[in-house]
């Protein structure tokens, strides 16, 4: 070794069981500059470029000016310059550069780092332990003239590897990041942007719509055309790991942090999540639903009258159906109501949302159903009773087979719309032959009891009675109607 060089032992074996791919290495090295410069000045003060050469000997150079540090921070595991401000930096433990150097050296690449008045080159040395010779990772240290620049060289890069260099900066949040579109909100602890039209690079070929930045590092994908940035303290284990979130982890992360958003932010984000307004958990612990995030946003919006009124003015057609819980009687009515909704024209054009939207003025369908179900009947006079008897006799003559042991009670209404499924109950015991119903009451409108209205009244009765074979559009119902004598 040259007299002016000093060998620094790192105590890391060359066969240490860690293997980072080039993308992870590149991200970790850029991160060190990012943490030193800060997100506000990153675009202006961080410089990364490639000196292209023949074959696989291209050189990558990263540099910044006016931010010197001691090489001793690169010699120990478990400490770094970032420990002075825990929770504010992406990295913390000082291991990133050492592991990057180890992995790159094993890939036959040369690594050199310089700052202040020093320069180090990554090297290999041999250490004897219990008579065995161990290959170890080290640095060659020498002095240099300080030019005010902190600089990193990596040589021996392939053409494929240098193509990924431009993508490295996209992993970090800074105002000039080309993945960011229009600002929705920008606060100290969080920010939300629309996604720009620049595609997100992805190795598996998946089109990524949105990005979740945790402590200004891209950690997860979002199914929304948004970029959400949340800055918060993370568990120490996660600080070291810094792996990408699975989709369900992104949802759980936002579920825990969305409560920090104010009413204005919650309102704007809620409007962007309209496709998830009717999300309902499919099981007790359902990590794949946006239900809990939406619920928290709704509560935030409802807590401030300004945004509550604005939302209610914008969305007048929201309705919800209560969830099935432990109330057996209510659950039965909910099941009836689900069938009633299918054929009720009153709910065409309505947007169904989850029950928490009642805080923002959404109407309960179950309350409407209960009101309709308890509507006052029109008392039958002698004329109506005779007309109903003729209708029943005619129906039983046309359909001689027995549908019921006892014909359902006939209910007359005074012109108010009541669906044929108003007093129907799904028969869940008969699943093999399709959907069938029990009819407890037969709803007929007195408007049918007019001169020349017999045929229409009989047809209305037949349609509702034949629900025993399925819904109005079912094939069994259609066949039954078709077989009726003309």
Q: Which pLDDT belongs to residue 402? A: 64
Please give the share of the chain, as a percent, with pLDDT higher than 70.
Answer: 80
128 located within any domain: yes
Tell me: do 62 and 159 sit in the same domain: yes
CATH code at 68? 3.30.565
Domain final position from 373, 407, 426: 373
When mean pLDDT is compared over 18-22, 443-447, 481-485, the highest value belongs to 18-22
Is the domain of 25 the same as that of 141?
yes
Evaluate whether residue 266 is within a structural domain: no
Please check whether residue 441 is in contact with residue 408, taking contact to mean a CB–CB distance below 8 angstroms.
yes
Residues 198-250 pLDDT 10s: 988 877 777 888 999 998 999 999 989 999 999 886 554 444 455 678 878 88
- pLDDT one-digit tens code per residue, 317-331: 999 998 887 777 678
Say how many domains are in the chain. 4
The whole-number pLDDT of residue 396 equals 83
Q: Is residue 265 part of a domain?
A: no
> 373, 401, 436: which is the final residue of a domain?
373
Q: Are residues 222 and 356 in the same domain?
A: no
Q: Using CA atoms, how far apart are residues 398 and 403, in angstroms rounded to an integer?
A: 12
133 and 41 together in one domain:
yes
pLDDT for the residue 429: 55
In a domain, 246, yes or no: yes
Last residue of a domain, one of 133, 151, 171: 171
Render pLDDT for 56-97 as a digit per residue (tens, 0 to 9).
889 999 999 998 888 888 887 655 544 444 333 434 345 788
Domain match, 355 and 387 both: no
Question: Are residues 360 and 423 located together in one domain of the fold?
Answer: no
428 and 447 both lie in a single domain: yes
Do 157 and 36 lie in a common domain?
yes
Q: Is-contact 116 68, C-beta < 8 A?
A: yes
pTM value > 0.75? no
The span from the CA of 46 to the CA of 169, in Å, is: 10
Q: Provide the domain limits for residue 135.
A: 6-171
């Amino acid at each position: 070794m040259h007299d002016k060089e000093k060998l620094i032992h790192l105590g890391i074996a060359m066969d240490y069981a860690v293997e980072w791919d080039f993308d992870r290495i590149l991200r970790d090295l850029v991160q060190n500059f990012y943490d030193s410069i800060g997100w506000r000045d990153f675009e202006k003060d961080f410089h990364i470029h490639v000196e292209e050469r023949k074959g696989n000997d291209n050189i990558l150079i990263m540099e910044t000016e006016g931010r010197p540090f001691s090489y001793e921070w690169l010699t120990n595991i478990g400490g770094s310059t970032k420990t002075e401000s825990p929770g504010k930096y992406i990295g913390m433990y000082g291991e990133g550069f050492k592991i990057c150097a180890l992995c790159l050296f094993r890939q036959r690449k040369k690594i050199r780092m310089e700052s202040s008045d020093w320069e180090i080159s990554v090297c290999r040395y041999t250490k004897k332990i219990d008579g065995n010779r161990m290959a170890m990772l080290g640095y060659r240290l020498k002095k240099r003239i300080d030019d005010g620049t902190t600089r990193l060289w990596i040589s021996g890069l392939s053409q494929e590897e240098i193509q990924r260099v431009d993508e490295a900066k996209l992993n970090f949040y800074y105002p000039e990041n080309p993945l960011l579109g229009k600002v929705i909100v920008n606060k100290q602890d969080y920010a939300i942007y629309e996604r720009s039209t620049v595609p997100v690079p992805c190795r598996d070929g998946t089109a990524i719509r949105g990005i979740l930045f945790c402590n200004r590092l891209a950690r997860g994908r979002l199914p929304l055309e948004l970029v959400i940035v949340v800055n918060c303290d993370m568990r120490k284990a996660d600080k070291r790991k810094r792996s990408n979130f699975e989709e369900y982890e992104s949802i759980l992360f936002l579920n825990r942090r969305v409560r920090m958003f104010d009413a204005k932010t919650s309102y704007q984000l809620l409007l962007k999540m309209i496709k998830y307004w009717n999300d309902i958990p499919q099981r007790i612990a359902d990590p794949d639903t946006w239900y809990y995030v939406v619920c928290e946003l709704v509560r935030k919006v409802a807590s401030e009258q300004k945004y509550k009124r604005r939302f209610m003015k914008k969305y007048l057609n929201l309705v919800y159906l209560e969830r099935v819980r432990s109330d057996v009687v209510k659950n039965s009515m909910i099941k009836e109501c689900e069938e009633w909704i299918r054929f009720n024209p009153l709910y065409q054009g309505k947007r169904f949302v989850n029950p928490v939207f009642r805080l923002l003025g959404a109407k309960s369908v179950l309350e409407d159903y209960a009101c309709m179900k308890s509507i006052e009947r029109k008392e039958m006079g002698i004329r109506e009773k005779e007309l109903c008897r003729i209708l029943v006799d005619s129906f039983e003559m046309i359909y001689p087979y027995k549908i019921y042991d006892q014909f359902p009670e006939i209910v007359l209404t005074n012109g108010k719309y009541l669906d044929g499924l108003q007093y129907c109950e799904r028969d869940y015991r008969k699943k093999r032959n399709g959907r069938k119903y029990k009819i407890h009451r037969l709803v007929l409108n007195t408007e049918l009891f007019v001169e020349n209205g017999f045929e229409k009244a009989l047809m209305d009765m037949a349609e509702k009675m034949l629900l025993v074979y399925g819904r109005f559009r079912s094939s069994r119902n259609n066949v039954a109607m078709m077989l009726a004598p003309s």
